[in-house]
Structures are given as C-alpha cells and as structure tokens.
Amino acid sequence: MVWAASTLMMGFVGGFLSLTVLRIMLGIGESIIFPGSSKIIARHVSPEERGMANAWCAAGLSIGPAAGTLAGGIILSNFGWRAIFVVFGLVTLLWLLPWHREVKSLPRVDEGMASSVPVRRLLGQWSLWAMSVGHGSSNFAFYFLLAFTPLYLVQHEGLSIQLMTLLTTLGYATQGATAFAIGIWSDRWTRSGRSEAHIRRVFLAVGQLMTAAALVALTMTHDVLMIGTLLCIAGVGTAFLPTNLYAVAQMFAGPRAAGTWVGVQNGFGNISGIVGPIIQGYLIDQRSYESAFYLAAAVAAFGGLWWGFVLPEIRQVDLD
C-alpha cells in the first residue's frame, strides 16, 4: 500500500522536496517484498517446489518492467509523465484485494518455526556475507540495465522512443519466460534426487557470466536486430539470478530465519543500486556509455566467479 500510494502521489509532486520524500516512502514500502516473500516460501513451500515459487517472484520482477516500459512509453507519448505515476499507482493498489484474501488462507506455523533468530547471530555467518557480496554484484548489472538501457538506446543509438520501448520490453519478457523455465528445471532436478545446491550454484555463475558477455557485446554493435538479440541474452542471464539468489538464501537460513536473512542480504546487496547508478552516470557523463557498460560487465563477471568458487557449501546453517 505504501509503495503504490507513493507512486500514485508522484504524479502530483510540485518540487524536489516532495519528490524526495515520496521516493523514500516508496523505498520503505518496497523493502518488505523479498524478505516477506522468502519467509513465506521457506515456511510454506517444499524444497521440490522452491524453484517454481521463486520463479514466480523473479518473473514478476521482469514482467513488471516489461509491462511498465511498454505501457509507460504509450502513456508518456500521449499524456505526459505524471499520468504514468497515477496509472501505475492505481493499478498496483488493486493488488491488495487478492493479496488480503490469500494471506488469510495461509496455515498457522508451529511455535518452533515461529521463534525469531537474533540479527547478531546471523551477522556472524560467513555465508550471509558471501551471499550479500554476490547479491550486490548481480544487482549492479541489473540496475544498470534497468536505469540506462532506455537512455542508451535513445541517446547513443538514436532509436525512437517507440523502438526503444519495444526492444527493452522484449528483453524483460525474455527474462520473465526464462525465470519460469529455470523454476521448472530446478524443481525437476531436485525431485530427481540430485543436489539442489549444485544446480543453483551453477545457475548463478552461468547467469552472471552470460550477462557480462551480453553487456560487452552491446558496445560492439549498432544493428537493431543484434541489439534486440543481446538484450534478450541479457534477459536470460539476469533471469538466472533472482530465481536462485533467494532460493539459496532460503536454503542457508531455513524457515526460522529466512525473513531476517534476506532482509540483511537484500540491504547490503542493494548498496550497488545506490552507488552503481552514481558511478555509471558519472562515467557516461565524463567519458562514454561504453565505459559504463564495461564496468557493469566486469562486476557481473566477478559475481559469476564468486558464485562458482567463493560461495561456501550451500546448506542450512546452525543457528542454535
């Protein structure tokens, strides 16, 4: 409700101060999403279905920007920027109706699972810090694509807003479809008796390396068809990340600590969403778009190696 209401009211801002306050409110409202969803999944979803449950969340993370970019481009060209915030805020508020009904149907949990784990106990776990570093490296490239791809296509490649909208929407749609495929594949792998931890580690490493390669390749082409193809490849790579990132966190934390664990991990991991756009914007302004792409690709490649070789053995940690 806070998130949607903040978005709605941005359509009526009159200055920088009110915009800043509403952006802070939006961030506060948004902050519960992944800790809350991870807690629900860890409590109520079996390991054999964990992949698909997280895939729905990951698909929403890409379908939202896909629909938002497509609809936002149409609204912007016809009604201006304020209408985008009003429409999106109102539409998002409608989500509260089915959510309220659904959350009431969740079964109660036993007292042992409901007991909390102190944050200081989690902060002593190297696996939490390792997940936070990997999370930050994945977010660095994701936020770069989210924030600067539209600007790059219009300002650097000279594409129209309509064509930019089509290409970015295609990338996000590919990301959403891939998230579902990954969820199905990982659940089938787990049900077969093979290691869930192994497949998720591989997915995380491959996803970040694929994203890095697509970012570098985007600086080497000006062909519209190739740009669209590379954005789809980047969408596939980024789809590997949230589907498995939160599933691994749930495996480490277990049902008792999943909410707090993901909250801490998400908090540290999203630091890249704060500093990344500042650094990337400076590089674009002072040097070139290519330098910002290379930086995002380097961080993504670092993350791929981190998931593959540094992340400790994926198993539930001892919190007692």
Contact by Cβ (8 Å): 43, 37: no
Average pLDDT over residues 229-250: 90
Tell me the chain's radius of gyration from C-alpha atoms. Answer: 20
CA dist 42 and 319 (Å) reads: 15
pLDDT for residue 162: 81
Q: How many degrees, rounded to 5, is the angle at CA 35 between CA 29 and CA 40?
A: 115
pLDDT at 27 over 80: yes
- The set of residues, in sequence order, having a beta carbon less than 8 Å from that of 236 and lying 6+ positions away, is 174, 175, 178, 207, 210
pLDDT at 67 over 90: no
pLDDT for residue 132: 96
Instruction: Please indicate, yes or no, if residue 25 is contained in any of the structural domains.
Output: no
pLDDT for residue 207: 95
Instruction: Please indicate, yes or no, if residue 1 is contained in any of the structural domains.
Output: no
Instruction: Please indicate, yes or no, if residue 10 is contained in any of the structural domains.
Output: no
Instruction: Please indicate, yes or no, if residue 39 is contained in any of the structural domains.
Output: yes
CA dist 148 and 277 (Å) reads: 8
Instruction: Please indicate, yes or no, if residue 225 is contained in any of the structural domains.
Output: yes
Q: How many degrees, rounded to 5, is the angle at CA 107 between CA 104 and CA 113?
A: 125
CA dist 197 and 199 (Å) reads: 6
- The set of residues, in sequence order, having a beta carbon less than 8 Å from that of 119 and lying 6+ positions away, is 260, 264
Highest mean pLDDT among 58-72, 166-180, 192-206: 192-206
Three-state secondary structure readout of 23-88: HHHHHHHHCCHHHHHHHHHHHHCCHHHHHHHHHHHHHHHHHHHHHHHHHHHHHHHHHCHHHHHHHH
* Burial class of residue 211 (count of CB atoms within 10 Å of its CB; 0-12, 13-18, 19+): buried
Q: Please state, rounded to an integer, the average pLDDT across all residues of the chain.
A: 89
With both helix axes pointing from N to C terminus, report the angle between 16-30 and 2-10 in degrees, rounded to the nearest 10: 160
Instruction: Please indicate, yes or no, if residue 2 is contained in any of the structural domains.
Output: no
Instruction: Give the number of domains in the chain.
Output: 1
pLDDT for residue 271: 92
Instruction: Please indicate, yes or no, if residue 35 is contained in any of the structural domains.
Output: yes
Of 297, 179, 299, which Cα lies nearest the Cα of 245? 179
What's the domain range around 165?
A: 31-309
pLDDT for residue 52: 87
pLDDT at 113 over 60: no
pLDDT in tens, 160-186: 888 888 888 888 888 888 888 888 888
pLDDT for residue 168: 85
pLDDT for residue 64: 82
> Residue 114's pLDDT band (boundaries 50, 70, 90)?
low
Q: What percent of the chain has pLDDT over 90?
A: 45
pLDDT for residue 19: 92
Residue 102's CB: how many other CB atoms inside 10 A? 9
pLDDT in tens, 263-303: 999 899 989 988 998 999 899 988 888 999 999 999 999 99
- The domain that holds 295 is classified in CATH as 1.20.1250.20
pLDDT at 227 over 60: yes
CA dist 63 and 84 (Å) reads: 17
Contact by Cβ (8 Å): 38, 245: no
Contact by Cβ (8 Å): 144, 285: no
> Residue 128's pLDDT band (boundaries 50, 70, 90)?
very high
pLDDT at 249 over 60: yes
pLDDT for residue 189: 87
pLDDT for residue 149: 87
DSSP 8-state assignment for residue 14:
-
pLDDT for residue 7: 94
Instruction: Please indicate, yes or no, if residue 22 is contained in any of the structural domains.
Output: no
pTM for this model (two decimals): 0.81
Q: Is 186 helix (H, G, I), strand (E, B) or coil?
A: helix
